[in-house]
Amino acid sequence: MLMLRLLFICCHLFLLPHLVITASWTSSQFPDLRGASVDQCVRAMPHGQLLYICDPDNILNTSQALALNRQLHELSIGTTCHCQRISQCITRNGLQEASHGFVVSIAIVSNLQMTIHSPSEAQLTERAESFTKALEGRWALGDCGNSVIIFVWEHYKKIVIWPARLAEKYVSYDERRHMLTRVNDLVQGDKWHEALSQLIAEIGKELHGQPEQKLDTGTLALILSVAVAVLLTMLITCCVCAFRCCGNLKGDERPRGVLAAAHRVDSIRALVLRRGSQLRRSFSKSPKFPVSRDGPDRFFGDTTIV
């Protein structure tokens, strides 16, 4: 009995502090990378650089965090500014001013607060994405949607790459999926520093490239209708040419099939002309449509009438 009680006390002594240290984060409790709570993010601040990593559970050690921060700093000053105003890309670090392009930052947690006890993979992804989205709004790192947050959920070995509006055109959904597949082995082996370092390099490569050109449906419809119109025009021109050539032949030289076709076309033409003159009569009553009173022969003047 005494042994059992001792064991119980021991358990409490060892487990309680551990439980307190590994807090489950919510997005509002999580430290602000550009706010007063920034000193909770890392144990040692980098010199001459802004901080781009928030790791309050100390999953990375100091040298790893500083190495990744240097990589993120170089990415930020090495990419071009795609904002409309250049002032949106000025960083103030103390008295120094520097121009930056895309701002990629990292948030690492041991665990997030969850209301579901045994969440499915989809629920985990949804929770991770909503946390990262909330951080994007709170941290507000890029002034024109030029930020990317890499979120690491250590407990479930999960990484989310979350680009803001503009950055999304440079790092597409498929590219993000492929990047995460390539670091999966490192993630499963808890090699967070290596995995993050590789991700930063790959995201940097995409951010240096061209934005994804999405063809919207309006442009597509326009291109299609122009193509159809061109095809139709060509077809009609060919038909007219063919019948003109045949029409210039002598009656007896014509092959029988062509003769029949020509007859048919002529009867259609006569019908169209009759309809046309009816239409013209109704149009000419309206002053908006002044129509020339020239006879129909003017339009088909050089075609031989059979």
Ligand X SMILES: *[C@@H]1O[C@H](CO)[C@@H](O)[C@H](O)[C@H]1NC(C)=O
Residue 58 in contact with ligand X, rule: CB under 6 A: no
Instruction: Find the shortest distance in angstroms from Cβ 93 to ligand X.
Output: 24
Q: Which amino acid, residue 301?
A: G
Separation CA 193–CA 148 (nearest Å): 18
Cβ distance to ligand X smaller for residue 59 or 134: 59
User: Which region among 59-67, 199-207, 255-263, 270-278 touches ligand X (by CB under 6 A)?
Assistant: 59-67
Separation CA 125–CA 222 (nearest Å): 39
Which letter does DSSP use for residue 84 in this model? Answer: S
Cβ distance to ligand X smaller for residue 41 or 124: 41
Cβ distance to ligand X smaller for residue 113 or 188: 188
Instruction: Find the shortest distance in angstroms from Cβ 188 to ligand X.
Output: 17
Within 156-293, where are the H helices?
173-182, 184-188, 192-208, 217-247, 256-284
Separation CA 150–CA 102 (nearest Å): 13
Among 26, 58, 62, 123, binds ligand X (CB under 6 A): 62
User: Which region among 61-69, 98-106, 208-216, 277-285 touches ligand X (by CB under 6 A)?
Assistant: 61-69
Instruction: Find the shortest distance in angstroms from Cβ 187 to ligand X.
Output: 16
DSSP calls for 140-157:
---TTS-EEEEEEETTTT
Residue 61 in contact with ligand X, rule: CB under 6 A: yes
> What does the chain come to in residues?
306
Three-state secondary structure of 238-253: HHHHHHHHHHCCCHHH
User: Which region among 56-64, 106-114, 209-217, 272-280 touches ligand X (by CB under 6 A)?
Assistant: 56-64
Separation CA 177–CA 276 (nearest Å): 62
Return the sign of the alpha-carbon dihedral for residues 82, 84, 85, 91. Answer: negative
* Of 156, 165, 150, the residue nearest 123 (C-alpha): 156
Instruction: Find the shortest distance in angstroms from Cβ 68 to ligand X.
Output: 12
User: Which region among 58-66, 177-185, 281-289, 294-302 touches ligand X (by CB under 6 A)?
Assistant: 58-66
Cβ distance to ligand X smaller for residue 63 or 248: 63
Cβ distance to ligand X smaller for residue 65 or 164: 65
Instruction: Find the shortest distance in angstroms from Cβ 168 to ligand X.
Output: 33
Which letter does DSSP use for residue 216 in this model? Answer: -
Instruction: Give the bridge partners for 184, in sequence order.
Output: none
Among 22, 37, 64, 91, binds ligand X (CB under 6 A): 64
Contacts with ligand X: how many residues (CB under 6 A)? 4
Instruction: Find the shortest distance in angstroms from Cβ 47 to ligand X.
Output: 16
Here the tokens at position 131 are 């946390």
* Of 128, 165, 170, the residue nearest 150 (C-alpha): 128
Separation CA 82–CA 101 (nearest Å): 7
Residue 63 in contact with ligand X, rule: CB under 6 A: yes
User: Which region among 62-70, 153-161, 227-235, 247-255 touches ligand X (by CB under 6 A)?
Assistant: 62-70
The closest residue (CB) to ligand X is 61
Judged by DSSP in three states, 92 sits in strand
Cβ distance to ligand X smaller for residue 66 or 207: 66
Cβ distance to ligand X smaller for residue 62 or 284: 62
Interface ranges with ligand X (CB under 6 A): 61-64
